[in-house]
Amino acid sequence: MSRSLYFRTVLVFVLVVIFSVTLSYYVSSLLFRNKGEAQMQDDMLTAGHYTIQMFKETGVKNPDSYITRLALLQHFIFLLYDETGEVKTYPVSPLPPEENRPIDKSVIKYVLDGDNYQNRAPQKKPLDELIGLPFQVNGKPYALFVQLNVSARSADLEKTAAMTLLLVLAIGSLTALIASRYVVKPLLKLTEATSRLAKGDFGVQVNVRSKDEIGLLADSFNRMSKELGQIERMRQDFVANVSHEIQTPLTSIRGFSKALKENVIADEDRGRYLDIIQTESERLSRLVDNLLRLASLESEHHPFTPAVYDLGEQLRKVMLSLDPLFEQKGVEWDVDLPGVKIFADEDQLYQVWVNLLRNSIKFTPRGGSVAVAIHKDADGVSVSVQDTGIGIREIDKTHIFERFYKADVNGEEEAAGNGLGLAIVKKIVDIHEGIVEVYSKEGQGSQFVIKLPNRAEM
């Protein structure tokens, strides 16, 4: 059967109290035996002298009653011997067998002759003290012996110890119940909050003000909850963006396909409609490819195969492959590509240059230009892609590397892209432990600088 933390806290506290009190009892008993012996002998001497004084006081009526009460209160046994050897015991009631400790006759005679007697109890029986005091009444010698009433004193000690234990347990248990609520209450809050978080409530926060480990745990939980909330919002935005990006070309494809199927389009428009269908299909294909590529890059299992190759040669190949787009758009291009060897993943960086150059071509008007340059220094290699296009607004600079973010161009969202190109660029550069710098002003063109560090060859 599972136990709550509250129950276990109280149980552990009670067990600790029991152990502590028990240990304290045995330690106190040891100290009593070792250090209380001298005080016990003084008490026995005091009681003996008081008893002798009672016998000598002629005006005291019924001294036996007083002496019996004294013996019972102080847990002593008084043995009174006269010169004939007869003994009178106080208290008068029969003693238990363990208290019947006979006194040697030589010791009795020693005290009757007028000498004090005091023995030392053996180490194993520290309570077996014996004191003998001589006195005379009306010229007759008497010997008064004082012993400890071991059974009565032990019973009294046990009773005191039991009462102390019960009192400590009662107070300790009550304290544990109160204290444990303060300890367990924050954990109960965390448990409830965790349950709500598991059900999808990512806005839940735990209000714990303590600065101890529980407080640190609550702070970590609150940060985790906020981060999960952000991830959930990103997921929802991602699903909405993907749905929108997929739905738009599908709508065009479905609409124009239906029109072509119903033969309601003039022959001169059929080619244009087929071109639109082909364009939207290619757009949809690029979207799926980019989504798969980005998902693969963000996973821990994406292949990363760096090798030494010529960066300048790679960029020249990219420029040549994009030359038809430059010609179609009427954009000039200029390159400064010295031969530079780097150690990187060639396929991944190829995708970076293609994405950057396609963006430059897309946002550079006819008659503009795009310049690509390589610069090498002691820190690494940098590649600059600069255009004379429309530039980037300040409000857009902080978002252009976000997935599906598309800047507003001339009051309309640029529809030709899907907002994933620069996100892929940023991810690939991060994998290579590089950085992406953006310099741009609205209406004055843009410059993207990719800085790659020097990497040791494998």
CA distance 77 to 151: 11
Residue bearing tokens 């102390």 = 164
Tell me the two tokens of residue 108. Answer: 């009795």
Contacts of 10 (CB under 8 A, 6+ apart): 173, 176, 177, 180
Query: Residue 244 pLDDT more than 80?
Result: no
CA distance 47 to 276: 122
Coil, strand or helix: which one is 82? strand
CB 374 within 8 A of CB 337: yes
Better-scored residue on pLDDT, 214 or 443 = 443
Better-scored residue on pLDDT, 338 or 1 = 338
CA distance 360 to 394: 18
CA distance 456 to 278: 45
Which domains are seen in the chain, by residue range? 5-155 (3.30.450), 203-302 (1.10.287.130), 305-453 (3.30.565.10)
What is the predicted pLDDT for the residue at 247?
Answer: 72
Residue of 149, 142, 137, 150 whose CA lies nearest to 70 = 149
Total Cβ atoms within 10 A of residue 440: 21
- pLDDT tens digits, one per residue of 46-56: 888 888 887 77
Q: What is the average pLDDT across 426-430?
A: 89
Better-scored residue on pLDDT, 66 or 337 = 337
CA distance 441 to 391: 5
The DSSP code sequence of 383-441 is EEEEE-SS---HHHHTTTTSTT---EETTEE--SS-S-HHHHHHHHHHHTT-EEEEEE-
Q: How confident is the model at residue 314 (pLDDT cuts 50, 70, 90)?
A: very high
Average pLDDT, the chain: 78
Tell me the two tokens of residue 214. Answer: 């529980």
What is the predicted pLDDT for the residue at 357?
Answer: 92
Least confident of 31-45, 83-97, 212-226, 438-452: 31-45
Residue of 92, 73, 78 whose CA lies nearest to 156 = 73
Q: What is the average pLDDT across 134-152?
A: 82
Coil, strand or helix: which one is 205? coil
Query: Residue 215 pLDDT more than 50?
Result: yes
Give the residues across from 267 on adjacent strands: none
Tell me the two tokens of residue 67. Answer: 């002496």
Parallel, antiparallel or unpaired: strands 117-118 and 130-137? antiparallel
CA distance 12 to 148: 40
Query: Residue 448 pLDDT more than 90?
Result: yes
Query: Residue 34 pLDDT more than 60?
Result: no
CA distance 414 to 389: 14
What is the predicted pLDDT for the residue at 411?
Answer: 43
Q: Is the pTM of this model over 0.85?
A: no
CA angle 240, 242, 244 (to 5 degrees): 70
CA distance 395 to 381: 29
The DSSP code sequence of 49-76 is HHHHHHHH-TT-S-HHHHHHHHHHHHTE
CA distance 17 to 11: 10
Query: Residue 29 pLDDT more than 80?
Result: no
CA distance 450 to 314: 15
Coil, strand or helix: which one is 81? strand
Percent of the chain with pLDDT over 70: 74
CA angle 68, 74, 77 (to 5 degrees): 55
What is the predicted pLDDT for the residue at 334?
Answer: 92
CB 35 within 8 A of CB 27: no
Q: Quick one: how far is CA 271 from the chain centroid?
A: 66
- pLDDT tens digits, one per residue of 247-292: 767 787 888 788 777 776 777 777 777 887 887 787 677 667 766 7
Coil, strand or helix: which one is 96? coil
